[in-house]
Structure 1
Amino acid sequence: MIDVSVDFQIEWHKRVSSTNDVCQQYATKGAAEGIVVAADFQEQGRGQRGNAWESQEGQNLTFSVLLRPTFLLVTEQFYLSKAISLAVSDWLIAYVTNKPVKIKWPNDIYIGDSKICGILIENSFSSQYMESSVVGVGINLNQVSFPDDLPNPTSLLLETGTRVDPRKALAELVNCIDGRYIQLTEGYRDNIDNDFFNAIYRKSQLCKYYSNGEEFYATIIGVQPIGELVLRTAEGAIRTFAFKEVTFVI
């Protein structure tokens, strides 16, 4: 068991190129974990798969956190993704009571069938252990219109009818991250595994997927420790996919 207490320090910027970039600079300089970089607007915000992160200035919450989970092996890095996804879900559940809050593998956060949050984690390693992690989070808070090329976005305002101050939201979210990170550092991995699997979007439902030019129907039956998604096809075959190897058809 590792006793870790993170002293989170929040700094807020009007504009940055990317909160992950600023946080990564701190990591490179050897800063201690707990630095939180937030911004009203990111000029070059990015999400998973190399996509740009679209966000109206001042309407949403975009931030990055520097963590140093040096207790995790490289092969265990997906535990951090689980913990962060659950922390964001924990926070959203307190606001959204009429629809399910779910984690779309590997770490997008959905309300119903609409995406409200994206997470981008950039890790560095030292030998077989983690050295640092820059955890970028983008949550749609008060935005009500989105670019047409975004297929299924939503925001907290659209879902609840209530505006949330980004600074208030960040303070609450940092507490949620702290709680899940402590859970991880203290070795409660079974709890994280169970909570994560129970929160998976469309778990136990027969749904359409796309992989390598093929469309097929399958059910999520598990997530491996390294983060691979385990599906059972409609024909009964068990198939395992790494990130970017399979896509939900929503």
Structure 2
Amino acid sequence: MPSCHSTNDSARELLQNTATTEGAIIVTDEQTKGKGQRGNAWLTNPGENLTLSLVLKPSFLRLAQQFYLNMISSLAVRDTIAGLLPGAVVVVKWPNDVYLNGKKVSGILIENSLKKEVLDNSVVGIGLNVNQQKWSLEGAVSLSTVAGHQFALSLVFERLLECLEAYYLKLKAGRYEEIKQLYLQHLLGYRQRRKYRSEVVFDGIIEDVTDAGLLKMRTSGGTEYFDFKAIEFIWN
């Protein structure tokens, strides 16, 4: 569609029709009220980037395993970018942002609906900066600013869908440990001492991420677990 408020909102509206099949995708050229993690806005220039939402029905996942959707989505985006930009440094920033050469290139927002103890359906919203050159916020980057040339959005879209499908099939096959290890392998700060801010600034080393998405970290006070909104990275 040319324009919409939020592809995730449009996808949820689509799900109200019970005939909606798994794999349905909402794509827009312009998202006027896009949402990111922590309630942040996700706004990009019309027609220059990828903004989409994918409908999944992962009823094979228990509530306690829902973070695996975050893992496979961020890994799919990471692999797509790494394939298009060989030699670039592409990492996942917990929980599911993707950074290219130290700057944010993609954000992901997953919204789940539950049925008892399993996931009934999920909407995976992805914003990927492809051809945009200027940003209202510092710390953003696009594929084209790194590559020095424009990309065909259709090509990036096709490769992203291929990666998403491959990882979703891994998840369906129950290859949880393989997915977890790949996520940790590409996770910013994994087994590295870095500075973070919770109630105070502290040094910590990421040791693991639980199935529910909690960040397991070794600090001067011992092992601690952090939820999504309880900690932030300090870049300088």
Shorter-normalised TM range = over 0.9
| SS of corresponding position for 2:22 | coil
In structure 1, the partner of 2:177 is 190
Stretch deviating more after TM superposition (120-129 or 161-170): 161-170
Hey, what's the Cα distance between the residues in 1 that align with 2:206 and 2:146? 27
Hey, what's the Cα distance between the residues in 1 that align with 2:16 and 2:226? 32
| SS of corresponding position for 1:169 | helix
CA drift of 1:236 comes to 5.8
Question: Which residue identity is paired with 1:195?
Answer: L
Counterpart of 2:86 (choices 65, 72, 97) is: 97
Hey, what's the Cα distance between the residues in 2 that align with 1:63 and 1:154? 18
| SS of corresponding position for 1:70 | coil
Question: Which residue identity is paired with 1:70?
Answer: S
Structure 2 residue 218 is the aligned partner of structure 1 residue 232: yes
**Matched residue count:** 234
Question: Which residue identity is paired with 1:230?
Answer: K
In structure 1, the partner of 2:231 is 246
Stretch deviating more after TM superposition (167-176 or 78-87): 167-176
Hey, what's the Cα distance between the residues in 2 that align with 1:247 and 1:151? 17
| SS of corresponding position for 2:224 | strand
| SS of corresponding position for 1:196 | helix
In structure 1, the partner of 2:62 is 73
Hey, what's the Cα distance between the residues in 2 that align with 1:114 and 1:100? 10
**In 1, are the aligned partners of 2:25 and 2:53 still within 8 Å (CA)?**
yes
| SS of corresponding position for 1:94 | helix
Question: Which residue identity is paired with 1:241?
Answer: F
5+ residue gaps in structure 1? Answer: 1-12
**In 1, are the aligned partners of 2:82 and 2:88 still within 8 Å (CA)?**
no
In structure 2, the partner of 1:4 is none
Question: Which residue identity is paired with 2:203?
Answer: Y
Hey, what's the Cα distance between the residues in 2 that align with 1:151 and 1:200? 22
> What percentage of aligned pairs have identical amino acids?
35
Structure 2 residue 151 is the aligned partner of structure 1 residue 164: yes
5+ residue gaps in structure 2? Answer: none
| SS of corresponding position for 2:229 | coil
Hey, what's the Cα distance between the residues in 2 that align with 1:246 and 1:112? 22
Counterpart of 2:126 (choices 127, 137, 150) is: 137
Hey, what's the Cα distance between the residues in 1 that align with 2:84 and 2:44? 21
CA drift of 1:99 comes to 2.5
1:61-119: per-residue Cα shift (whole Å, max 9, x none)?
00000000000001110011111111111111101223321100000001121110000
- The equivalences for 1:1-250 within 5 A come to 13-30=1-18, 31-147=20-136, 150-212=137-199, 214-233=200-219, 235=220, 237-250=222-235
TM-score using structure 1 length: 0.91
